[in-house]
Amino acid sequence: MIEQQISSQGQNAIQPDRPKKALHNRVNRRELKEKMKNDPVKRVTLSFYRYSHIPDPVAFRNELYRWWDALGVLGRTYLAQEGINAQISVPEENFEQFKLLMNSYEMFRGMRLNIAVEAEGKSFFALTIKVKDKIVADGIEDPTFDPSQTGVHLNAEAWNEACQEPGVIIVDMRNHYESEVGHFENAITPDVTTFREELPLVADMLEEHKDKKILMYCTGGIRCEKASAYMKYKGFENVFQLEGGIIEYDRQVKAKGLSNKFIGKNFVFDERLGERVSPDIIAQCHQCGKPADSHTNCANIYCHILFIQCEECSKKYAGCCSDKCMDFNALPAEIQKQQAPGMVFNGSKFGKGAYKAFRKAGGTLHGE
């Protein structure tokens, strides 16, 4: 059984009896968000992943939920037979116990924990652990593909040196709304909205450059684990990846006083939606066009489209993406609920990260 995999040291470090709380959060999202804003507990925000075979992800998910809930862990985690992908926060006072627990699982020993540099611990307000087919949706169906055959991992110093080599190709393996606010100097930033879409696109794009050195990077490293393996699967031999992604690169640059080759913000998948890596602002407000790089979700919960908004437009449109959403959001909640099924907003038309397609078509987010 899963619980037998936990050492007695790991269990006792938390509490003598196995926690018996519910395996799902049952509190309203808005209530949880408000509770987190007023919570004085200091928290550590972190992310991690590990490709490792999990025979029974459902049973493991339930066990993990019990222990993490007992430790006050919040955040979003995906589990699959291929491994784990987590973005969470842990009460500072329980962080050592959390590490002890994770190390009590053999599959997690020695796993890198990417600690957020800017976070104040308000990154998440609920614990969600979901079982998926894959921890990163890649669209790869070939059973002969081996994700363990990755490229060479480079630390921040080695990465900086490699970036200066003549003829090297640097590829951003994130989505366009991530690279829009920040990316490495001279990097290729594919205009995609999903990792599944990006993998074959990058392989086709670089088909004539199989003899060149390919440097790949992403947020925390998990996408590049598969991306570099995929490139090798496609016949690329000289493939390298940034170890620990932009998060670890930023930490090493600051800790060692290295030259920073990343420009702008690093998009992160929590309530902050970004960590400042350099002072440069390379994006524009999607409503007025002024320099801005702060992502937000439309305040109209029936739209919720992700877009970039400057402070002036945030005040002007009350955190909404359009006049239509602003007017609708001012209605009483009950009226919103009645009218929403028959309405179409930017979010329901274009979805997450698809505002670029909307703007290319000649639209403006504030025009409705």
pLDDT digits (tens, 9 = 90+) for 188-213: 999 998 899 999 999 999 999 999 99
Q: What is the mean pLDDT of residues 121-132?
A: 85
257 occurs within a structural domain: yes
Residue 103 pLDDT: 92
- The 10s digit of each residue's pLDDT in 14-69 is 443 444 445 655 555 556 566 656 667 889 999 898 888 899 999 999 999 999 99
Q: Based on the domain organization, do 259 and 319 belong to the same domain? A: no
Q: Based on the domain organization, do 105 and 181 belong to the same domain? A: no
Q: Based on the domain organization, do 26 and 121 belong to the same domain? A: yes
Distance CA 355, CA 349 (A): 9
Is the pLDDT reported for residue 333 higher than 60? yes
Residue 328 pLDDT: 97
The DSSP code for 108 is: G
Distance CA 61, CA 80 (A): 9
Which residues are known catalytic residues? Answer: 218
Q: Based on the domain organization, do 121 and 14 belong to the same domain? A: yes
Higher pLDDT, residue 148 or 314 = 314
Is the pLDDT reported for residue 349 higher than 90? no
pLDDT band at 3 (very low <50, low <70, confident <90, very high): very low
Higher pLDDT, residue 242 or 32 = 242
Q: Based on the domain organization, do 10 and 45 belong to the same domain? A: yes
CATH at residue 99: 3.30.70.100
Residue 271 pLDDT: 75
Q: Based on the domain organization, do 7 and 125 belong to the same domain? A: yes
145 occurs within a structural domain: no
Q: Based on the domain organization, do 13 and 80 belong to the same domain? A: yes
Distance CA 165, CA 161 (A): 7
Q: Based on the domain organization, do 190 and 80 belong to the same domain? A: no
How many domains does the chain divide into? 3
Q: Based on the domain organization, do 89 and 186 belong to the same domain? A: no
Q: Based on the domain organization, do 243 and 294 belong to the same domain? A: no
Residue 312 pLDDT: 97
273 occurs within a structural domain: no
Is the pLDDT reported for residue 295 higher than 80? yes
Reduced 3-state DSSP string for 243-299: CCHHHHHHHHHHHHCCCCCEEEEECCCCCCCCEECCCCCCCECCCCCCECCCEEECC
195 occurs within a structural domain: yes
342 occurs within a structural domain: yes
Q: Which of 55, 122, 159 is nearest to 271 (CA)?
A: 122
pLDDT band at 352 (very low <50, low <70, confident <90, very high): low
Is the pLDDT reported for residue 329 higher than 90? yes
C-alpha distance from residue 183 to each of 177, 189, 218, 332 (Å): 11, 8, 9, 41
366 occurs within a structural domain: no
**313, amino acid identity:** C
The DSSP code for 106 is: G
Residue 38 pLDDT: 64
Share of residues in the chain with pLDDT > 90 (%):
64
Q: Based on the domain organization, do 114 and 175 belong to the same domain? A: no
Q: Based on the domain organization, do 40 and 115 belong to the same domain? A: yes
Range of the domain at 338: 286-360
Which of 144-148, 289-293, 334-338 shows the lowest per-residue confidence on average (mean pLDDT)?
144-148
Residue 4 pLDDT: 42
Q: Which of 137, 119, 125 is nearest to 175 (CA)?
A: 137
Residue 26 pLDDT: 58
274 occurs within a structural domain: no
Q: What is the mean pLDDT of residues 72-100?
A: 93
Task: Output the furthest CA–CA distance in the chain (Å, rounded).
Answer: 62
Residue 7 pLDDT: 44
Is the pLDDT reported for residue 116 higher than 80? no
Residue 361 pLDDT: 45
277 occurs within a structural domain: no
pLDDT band at 13 (very low <50, low <70, confident <90, very high): very low
Positions of E strands within the chain: 43-51, 74-80, 83-91, 114-115, 127-131, 152-154, 169-172, 182-184, 214-217, 239-242, 262-266, 275-276, 295-297, 306-308
Distance CA 294, CA 310 (A): 7
Token pair belonging to 120: 């104040």
Higher pLDDT, residue 26 or 360 = 26
